[in-house]
Structure 1
Amino acid sequence: MKLKVGITGQNGFVGKHLYNMLCLFPDEFERIEFKKEYFADLSSLDQFTSSCDVIVHLAAMNRHSDPKVIYTTNIALVESLIESLIRTKSKSHILFSSSSQESKDNMYGKSKKEGRELFIKWAEEFNGQFTGMVIPNVFGPFGRPFYNSVIATFCHQLTHAEMPVIQIDGELNLIYIGELVEEFIQQIRSKKSNLNYQVIHTAHSKVSEILSLLNRYKEDYLEKGGIPAINSRFELNLFNTFRCYIDTENHFPVKFTQHIDPRGAFVEVIRLNVGGQVSFSTTVPGITRGNHFHTRKIERFAVIKGKALIQLRQIGTDQILDFYLSGEEPAYVDMPVWYTHNIKNIGEEELFTIFWINEFFDPNDTDTYFENV
């Protein structure tokens, strides 16, 4: 039997990643759609809670000019969900996203701590199943700048000709969004309560150290087209986060510099400070390759002969980005994570393409998920 999983805050930063990741396990999970309007409609909220085997409560306010509004909003959301659970006599396993700020003297942290305590009280009184996940600072692709994290803010500023400023050079305990989603899925699969589950951070860094890395990514990648040195899983996650704040539609395709003399032409395809795998392909007219996406891999398509249409679409959205490339002006397009992509020969001759990806192909861990653009 599939587990029916609903996510309040489905369209938020964490919610969107969790919702998309669950679709990679279609035989295990069925996603129950949630809309924020449900909190104002008791009938719709009750229909949602009664339909779910698991509810991940992520809906919350992070920032507001009045901290009291943050507190009252977040507590009201928790109370509304609990009231619906009681009305429907729900036996759903509730997972609650709390924060390491529980221990800090601010209204957001207070709302998270008291929200978790309210769920614990519900679980004790109604024999409910509850997991309260206390989470460190989260970063990753598609987070809202000036809202979700300082990393989202820095990435946005560096890719939009703005100058980041460090307010406090603090020490941050961090977890990448993909790692956090794995934690949620692990807890869903466990089907066990854990009232105070401390999610362990996977990286620790000063704010200035993070900004230094991001500045290097801007110089090496955004300005020079090279791939920077990546010395850890954290740096790979940070680089993939940075790439997702680039204006993909207007940045690509990037033309190569051709050096032409009587012998022919020479083009430097990529400068690497990291390893990987380089492949070469020919594609006959009318054929399309790809239609898949990656969650961690860095990939470059370089067209050196023929005419190609490269298409990208972010998972969970409808907008398709079309890039037309020609061997007459060799160019490349890089694939952001969580963008399904393809390449089609739209010319009358064979298409010659060079593919680079940052890790060797492993048939047991392909990080390749098929979905048509």
Structure 2
Amino acid sequence: MMIKVGISGQNGFIGQHLLRTLNIFPGKFKVVPFKKSFFDDEDELNSFVKSCDTIVHLAAMNRHEDPQVIYDTNIELVQKLITACRNTNSTPHILMSSSTQEERDNLYGQSKKEGREVLAKWATEEDAVFTGLVIPNVYGPFGKPFYNSVVATFCHQLTHGEQPEIHKDGELDLIYVGSLVEKIIDSIGQKTDDSNHLVPADTTVKVSEILELLSEFKKTYFEKGEIPELEDTFSLNLFNTFRCYIDMDEHFPVHLTKHSDDRGAFVEIIRLGIGGQASFSTTVPGITRGNHYHTRKIERFAVIKGKAQIELRLIGTDKVYSYELDGDQPGYVDMPIWFTHNISNIGDDELYTIFWINETYDPDDADTYYEEV
């Protein structure tokens, strides 16, 4: 049965990741479009609520110079959502994202806790299903620096010539945004009825340890082009997060050093602190390969002979990054996660390309999704 899911705050950090992931499964989920302006238009909000089987309420204010504005805004959003449900006699399964900051003495945490309790009371009165998600610190690709997390801030600073500073070296309970999205989707499918659903952290780590790892990624990958050793899932997720803060217009393509003598030429393609799978392809003129994206894999395209055009586009956006590479000056482009990508032979001769990916191909878990650039 198709589940119609609406996401308030679908353009936010978590909302974008949830939206993209739900769209991978068009046979299971249909996303009901949402705009921020719906909260200021009673008819639009009523129509939205009436169209949904499930609503994931992510919309909230996190920062403002006046904490009282944060509190008032977040409570008002919850009240407007409940009013729309009552106006339309709708009882969708509502999931609300709260925060472990509920236990802190600040108005943001207070607004999330009280909002969760108000929705739980509505669900009890209307015999509806409610899931109150109490979530630790979330990190991952495309988070907003100086807003979403210290990880986003550090990644942005390290890839843009700035030096991060640690103001307080405490321990952080962290969850990767992809892991959180999986848990939200599981709760949607299971219709989890739990007004105080504590979402466990993936890892607990000190701020200084995060900065140490990211600084190593800068030195190894950003400056040298080497894939670092990734010892665990946290390191992989943090590395994929780091890669998404690189300025695609400035950094790629990266040109390789070509060593030539009377025997021919030698070009080093990649240095690895990690395993994976390397492949080689030839492509005849006028042909395009790819048009797919990955949600976890690290991938490099290296052109060693012929002329190629490599294109990438972040899922859900319109901007296309386009690079022309020529085997006479060998180079590579790396594929960030959630970027659909392709490679075309734009020359008159056969194109030779080497592909490297950090895990061997598994047809039962390919992490490869078709979408044209």
Taking structure 2 as the reference length, the TM-score comes to 0.99
Counterpart amino acid of residue 313 in structure 2: R
Deviation of 1:329 after TM superposition, in Å, equals: 0.4
2:304 maps to 1:299: no
Counterpart amino acid of residue 120 in structure 2: I
Query: 3-state DSSP class of the match of 2:322?
Result: strand
Post-superposition Cα deviations, 1:40-73, rounded to whole Å, max 9, x if no partner, equal 0000000000000000000001111111111111
Query: 3-state DSSP class of the match of 1:300?
Result: strand
Query: 3-state DSSP class of the match of 2:260?
Result: strand
Post-superposition Cα deviations, 1:58-97, rounded to whole Å, max 9, x if no partner, equal 0001111111111111111111111111111112000000
1:199 aligns to what?
199
1:37 aligns to what?
37
Give the gaps of 5 or more residues in structure 2.
none
The whole-number CA distance in structure 2 between the counterparts of 1:287 and 1:303 is 15
2:153 maps to 1:153: yes
The whole-number CA distance in structure 2 between the counterparts of 1:74 and 1:195 is 17
Identity of aligned residues (%): 63
The whole-number CA distance in structure 1 between the counterparts of 2:162 and 2:191 is 46
2:79 maps to 1:73: no
Deviation of 1:256 after TM superposition, in Å, equals: 0.1
Deviation of 1:192 after TM superposition, in Å, equals: 3.3
2:322 aligns to what?
322
Query: 3-state DSSP class of the match of 2:297?
Result: coil
2:118 aligns to what?
118
Counterpart amino acid of residue 76 in structure 2: A
2:239 maps to 1:239: yes
The whole-number CA distance in structure 1 between the counterparts of 2:193 and 2:90 is 15
Residue correspondences, number: 373
Query: 3-state DSSP class of the match of 1:246?
Result: coil
Counterpart amino acid of residue 56 in structure 1: V
Query: 3-state DSSP class of the match of 1:229?
Result: coil
Query: 3-state DSSP class of the match of 2:211?
Result: helix
2:331 aligns to what?
331
Deviation of 1:120 after TM superposition, in Å, equals: 0.8
Correspondence 1:210-289 to 2 at 5 A? 210-289=210-289
The whole-number CA distance in structure 2 between the counterparts of 1:108 and 1:268 is 52
The whole-number CA distance in structure 1 between the counterparts of 2:354 and 2:129 is 52
The whole-number CA distance in structure 2 between the counterparts of 1:212 and 1:70 is 33
1:28 aligns to what?
28
RMSD: 0.6
The whole-number CA distance in structure 1 between the counterparts of 2:315 and 2:112 is 30
Counterpart amino acid of residue 96 in structure 1: M
Deviation of 1:191 after TM superposition, in Å, equals: 1.9
Question: Which runs of at least 4 in structure 1 moved beyond 2 Å after TM superposition?
Answer: none
Query: 3-state DSSP class of the match of 1:344?
Result: strand
Counterpart amino acid of residue 265 in structure 1: A
Contact 2:91–2:126 (8 Å) recurs in 1: no
Contact 2:256–2:332 (8 Å) recurs in 1: yes
2:172 maps to 1:166: no
